Amino acid sequence: MENLTKRQEAILKIISGANKPILTSEIENSITKIYDMSRDTIVRDLNALKEAGLISSNNSGPSTTYYLTNTLLTPVDTNIYFSTAQDNRTLINEPNSEFFDKISRTELIANSRLNHKITEYRKKVSDLPLDIHARELERFVIDLAYKSSAIEGNTYSLLETEQLIKNAKRVDGKTEMEAIMILNHKTTFDIIMDNLVSFKQLNLSDILNIHQSLVRGLDIDTGIRKHAVGISGTNYKPLDNQFSLKENLERAITITNQKTNPIEKALVISGLIAYLQPFGDGNKRTARMVANAILLAFSIAPISYRNIDEIEYKKSIILIDEQHDFYYYKNIFTESIEFSLNNYQV
């Protein structure tokens, strides 16, 4: 199941909110207050959620009860969740090992509904003349460098980013650091394109090299950090021990390499880099570029993030940090891939 219907999301919220196994009749009483639907339709939705591995059941007949089996993909109403003040939100404090175990066991992306679009995309790109392909690559890099930098607070506009990348034209009144951040995205993308085979089987040096390229000249330390960091908008505190950070990042890489779906590989490692915050700065930039490296290695359109609302993107990362929930991030991620499949020929 790639994306749930609003009705199925509502059913999952009812089951999640019960905090214990819940009867079919109780689900029916709650869901019919929201949607006009028959019991047969409810049962079909429950069966679909079971097949997707999101819920399980006990007993049979009228005494059947349902409970969540996959808390990694629990729908969250972000408006309600983030209306609670940061200091009043309850964070999941299970050890990283348990969180990682869940990710290892769980298929976060089943047979993707994007498969047909990916096939069409590969055919389209393979037939593209070299000069057009070069222009498409440049157009994509401009979009990516602009939006990925904007997420980090960079004030260059899209047109200013284009002039910077194509003509090395700086903008008066903007800092040199902003220009360097954008140009580092271009350099890093070129490095990725020259080493695509490496990213089919990820290793630690791949991630370290991408981070180093992205932060070059920005007065940011490279390598696994040795000090604690905080994250704006959340009370979640990442690990602060360098050896534990390296160990957990290596485990995240192992889990990523064990996944067979390239989109799931990119989703998992980008989410976990953002979660672990292994570097002093530049973590989300690194996460985005590593994800793109994997997608490109498997001939899937990389993500420019052009269609993403920066605030919603940051909320999706905070939900991973605070609730160990990939549902919202997964939706943003797969929708962004679909956008790229429709709009680029990289």
Domain 88-343 -> CATH class: mainly alpha
pLDDT of residue 78: 87
Report the share of the chain in percent with pLDDT over 90: 80
Average pLDDT over residues 9-35: 90
* Two structure tokens written together for 39: 């019991």
Q: Of residues 211 and 116, which shows the higher confidence score?
A: 211
**Crossing angle of helices 158-167/176-194, nearest 10°?**
70
Q: How confident is the model at residue 100 (pLDDT cuts 50, 70, 90)?
A: very high
User: Does residue 85 come out as left (phi exceeding 0), alpha (psi in the -120 to 50 range) or beta?
Assistant: beta
Sign of CA dihedral 161, 165, 166, 170: positive
Q: How confident is the model at residue 34 (pLDDT cuts 50, 70, 90)?
A: very high
Q: Of residues 310 and 17, which shows the higher confidence score?
A: 310
Domain 6-69 -> CATH class: mainly alpha
Would you say 111 and 47 are in contact if contact means Cβ atoms under 8 Å apart?
no
* Two structure tokens written together for 258: 């064990």
Q: Is a pLDDT exceeding 60 seen at residue 290?
A: yes
- For residue 223, the cross-strand partners are none
Q: How confident is the model at residue 73 (pLDDT cuts 50, 70, 90)?
A: confident
Sequence-distant (≥ 6) Cβ neighbours of residue 74 within 8 angstroms:
12, 16, 68, 323, 325, 327
Q: How confident is the model at residue 2 (pLDDT cuts 50, 70, 90)?
A: low
pLDDT of residue 181: 98
Q: How confident is the model at residue 94 (pLDDT cuts 50, 70, 90)?
A: confident
Average pLDDT over residues 245-273: 97
Residue ranges of E strands in 22-121: 22-23, 55-58, 65-68
pLDDT of residue 70: 74
Q: Is a pLDDT exceeding 60 seen at residue 275?
A: yes
Average pLDDT over residues 253-274: 97
pLDDT digits (tens, 9 = 90+) for 193-207: 999 999 999 999 999
Q: Of residues 159 and 78, which shows the higher confidence score?
A: 159
Q: How confident is the model at residue 239 (pLDDT cuts 50, 70, 90)?
A: very high
* Radius of gyration over every alpha carbon of the chain, rounded to an integer in angstroms: 21
Residue of 216, 206, 215 lying closest to 252 (CA atoms): 206
pLDDT of residue 291: 98
Would you say 180 and 217 are in contact if contact means Cβ atoms under 8 Å apart?
yes
Average pLDDT over residues 61-87: 87
pLDDT of residue 326: 95
pLDDT of residue 158: 98
d(CA 316, CA 287): 14
**Domain boundaries in the chain?**
6-69, 88-343
Reduced to 3 states (helix: H, G, I; strand: E, B; else coil), residue 56 is strand
Burial class (CB in 10 A: 0-12, 13-18, 19+), 230: exposed
Average pLDDT over residues 145-172: 97
Q: How confident is the model at residue 111 (pLDDT cuts 50, 70, 90)?
A: low
The 3-state DSSP composition of the chain as helix, strand, coil percent (nearest 5) reads 60, 5, 35
* Two structure tokens written together for 33: 């207050």
DSSP code, position 54? S
Average pLDDT over residues 254-282: 97
- For residue 65, the cross-strand partners are 23, 58
The DSSP-derived string for 170-208 is --TTS-HHHHHHHHHHHHHHHHHHHTGGGGGS--HHHHH
Q: Is a pLDDT exceeding 70 seen at residue 331?
A: yes
